[in-house]
Chains A and B, each alone.
Chain A
């Protein structure tokens, strides 16, 4: 359990303090003080998770997040000083999995990190078919026909959660609890933005979603499989 965490914050004191907290929890923190440094460090450091401040000199957090997403699906948690709608949504749209609003307390931060690092539903040894998409849960692979669909761990988790119970409609609150690990009221925009990102990757036509369907006023549901769901042997 020596997960490596890249801490990107231009405030040296805060970066160090976060590192202390992380070390106290048994993680290995790597510090970067601006966006460029973070991107330079990223390939060699191979972090298991990135804590990313939104307001950074030079490249801002949102640009850094997009750049990271081009390289990897590693979990990214944004540190934001603003609870403002536009900032949060922009951060999530650039690919961040979750966000924490400053000032946060260590418990909150560690809880967010734990959720993102916990082993995913890989324990379910099954192959699920939703619409024209095949999900190989143990292999963490999603394919449409012959081509592989690249999903971040969070997007994969979201898709599997929905696909495992195709008859059930998941409310946003249920998804927040099961995928993000929030046990109290949280920001439902997390769900909205990530469902959109997921659809952009798995749907043939994201405007008419088949795989992740919206049930108006309730939430989301996985679409029926084109052929009957076949159990893995």
Chain B
């Protein structure tokens, strides 16, 4: 369950991640919008805070000024209410003072005041504490009252929240009054700051809207600018892609003098020089291939004449002296060798020219291979090697070019006979769903790693001084490799000095189909004991 969710999450993530990775435009726009958004938020936030501070500071100053004025007026009123006899009608004075305070509290938002008697005093008279009707006295906190009482000479204020439900910012400013014969009173002026708040909210909204618009505009501008700069790059990329596909005449349009134009010009110059190089090399290699092919063809007619002449003489060798008869024998064998070499060269040049077409047929390779082994039987007997076959699979037919597969197998087995030191040679055949494998293993001298890497090189020989019996031309494995590749397969080689060599051909059951695993390991281990092949090691010679 969790895993499924996680997978869904990852899949949901995949599409955006893909776009992020693949589109420079998307990346640039996203980054620009993100970063400018961050910057605008910081600046806007700072501005909004400063504006709020200033607004509130201005209001507070105004309020404190009013409070001072109101306190002074009230104090003066109270002081002047003392008659010559030294008495005072506190309640009358109170009323007068209230009127004066009310008129002093003139700025907008003044929502009321309270004149409270400082508790804990014993005086001759007591003036009634009063407050504006409807004023909730709970806004005057005990903390503020304590401050006022503690420092009566100073003005105090406190930010509060007004209103029962919707919180409205407010300020309570406080001053203390000395009412003659009635002691200390505290004057509280309550101001409603909702107008300031409204202004601030409006400013903030404008700021936010402006920021969003700005970020949007930046995003749009980035989009167009990046598009403008990316487009030539994109065109260059497309053109490069076309060039890579072989359309060598593809070019960019050059216009203007800007950096893009410089890019286009350099790009076109590069394409131009590449094209001429490629054309030159292609011509060169074509000329070379043609040359090889022509030479091979031209050689064939005189070679045929020589061959016929040699054969005619060979047929009459009984009439010659022993020396001459042997000479003719040598001549004939060397002509044959020459002929094989020419055939191989032609085949190679055909591969080089790409002029190779498979002629596939549904084939069971087992009889085909047995046929090859029969053909090489006499040679193997001469060398003392026994040719064994281990068929593990390979049942059923595969589509192969019989001539080429035959050639590969003859080459493998021929090599094994040449280098097998007279020990048995096992040909393994196996197949799986996709592929068919043929491996030929000998227990001869083997090769070093450096030698193994060069076996497919043309005209390369493991040991040039070694006597050859199969008349190899040094092209055999190179051709075999090309034959395998033409089928969509390949040849792998395993070899160890003193332990022998194994060549393994793997081809798909249908030419050029994909395949993953070769049906045979390299080198294959013998599994059957009854055929005289011991597991892994050298098969025992079959007893006569």
A→B interface (CB under 8 Å): 9, 11, 13-14, 17-18, 20-21, 24, 81-82, 84-85, 102-107, 109, 217
Contact = CB atoms under 8 A, between A and B. Distances in A.
Nearest to B293: A82
Given A11-B305, A13-B302, A18-B308, A103 B297 contact: no
A9 B355 CA distance: 27
**Residue among A20, A24, A82, A105 having the largest count of chain B Cβ atoms under 10 Å:** A105
Interface string B134-148: 000000000000000
B479 to A, nearest CB: 14
B83 interface: no
A17 B308 contact: yes
A158 B305 CA distance: 33
A3 B301 CA distance: 25
Contacts of B339: 103
B357 A81 contact: no
Interface in B333-367: 339, 342, 350, 355, 357, 359, 362
A105 B297 contact: no
A9 B305 CA distance: 12
Contact of A82 (B297, B305, B342, B362): B297
A9 B301 CA distance: 10
B354 to A, nearest CB: 14
27 contacts: A11-B305, A14-B302, A14-B305, A17-B305, A18-B308, A20-B308, A20-B312, A24-B312, A24-B315, A81-B297, A84-B350, A84-B355, A85-B357, A85-B359, A102-B300, A103-B300, A103-B306, A103-B342, A104-B304, A104-B307, A105-B307, A105-B308, A106-B308, A106-B311, A106-B315, A107-B311, A109-B308
A51 to B, nearest CB: 12
Contacts, number: 55
A102 B301 contact: yes
B308 A21 contact: yes
Contacts of A11: 301-302, 305
Given A81-B300, A103-B300, A13 B305 contact: yes
A102 B296 CA distance: 11
A39 B429 CA distance: 54
Contacts of A17: 304-305, 308-309, 312
Contacts of A14: 301-302, 304-305, 308
Q: Residue among A13, A24, A102, A217 with the most chain B CB within 10 A?
A: A102
Contacts of A9: 301
Interface of B is mostly: helix
A18 B304 CA distance: 9
A174 B270 CA distance: 61
A17 B301 CA distance: 11
A103 B311 contact: no
B214 interface: no
Contacts of A21: 308, 311-312
B104 interface: no
A82 B300 CA distance: 9
A82 B299 CA distance: 12
Nearest to A18: B308
Contacts of A106: 308, 311-312, 315
**Best-buried of A14, A18, A82 by chain B (most CB within 10 Å):** A14
B262 to A, nearest CB: 51
B296 to A, nearest CB: 9
Given A14-B301, A107-B311, 9 more contacts: A13-B302, A13-B305, A14-B305, A14-B308, A17-B304, A17-B305, A21-B308, A106-B312, A217-B362
A84 B347 CA distance: 10
B303 interface: yes
A106 B339 CA distance: 14
B395 to A, nearest CB: 18
Contacts of A81: 297, 300-301
A81 B299 CA distance: 9
Interface in B96-141: none
B399 to A, nearest CB: 13
Interface centre among A14, A20, A103, A105 (most CB of B within 10 A): A103
A81 B304 CA distance: 10
A128 B165 CA distance: 120
Given A81-B297, A82-B297, A85-B357, A102 B303 contact: yes
A105 B306 CA distance: 10
Sort A-B residue pairs by CB-CB distance and give the 9 closest, nearest first.
Answer: A103-B304, A102-B300, A81-B300, A103-B303, A102-B304, A14-B305, A17-B308, A106-B311, A17-B305
A106 B304 CA distance: 9
A99 to B, nearest CB: 14
A81 B294 CA distance: 11
Which of B302, B303, B304, B315 has the largest number of chain A CB atoms within 10 A?
B304
Interface string B305-333: 11111011001000000000000000000
B365 to A, nearest CB: 15
Nearest to A9: B301
A11 to B, nearest CB: 5
B121 to A, nearest CB: 127
B312 A103 contact: no
A117 B308 CA distance: 21
Nearest to B306: A103
A3 to B, nearest CB: 19
A82 B302 CA distance: 14
With a 10 A CB-CB cut-off, give which of B305, B307, B359, B362 has the most chain A CB atoms. Answer: B305
Which of B301, B350, B359 lies at the interface centre, i.e. has the most chain A CB atoms within 10 A of its CB?
B301
Nearest to B371: A185
Interface in B359-381: 359, 362
A103 B307 CA distance: 7
B369 to A, nearest CB: 14
Contacts of B342: 103
A106 B335 CA distance: 14
B111 to A, nearest CB: 107
A113 to B, nearest CB: 13
A64 B315 CA distance: 33
Contacts of B355: 84
A18 B297 CA distance: 19
A168 to B, nearest CB: 22
A36 B350 CA distance: 32
Contacts of B307: 103-105
Contacts of B359: 85
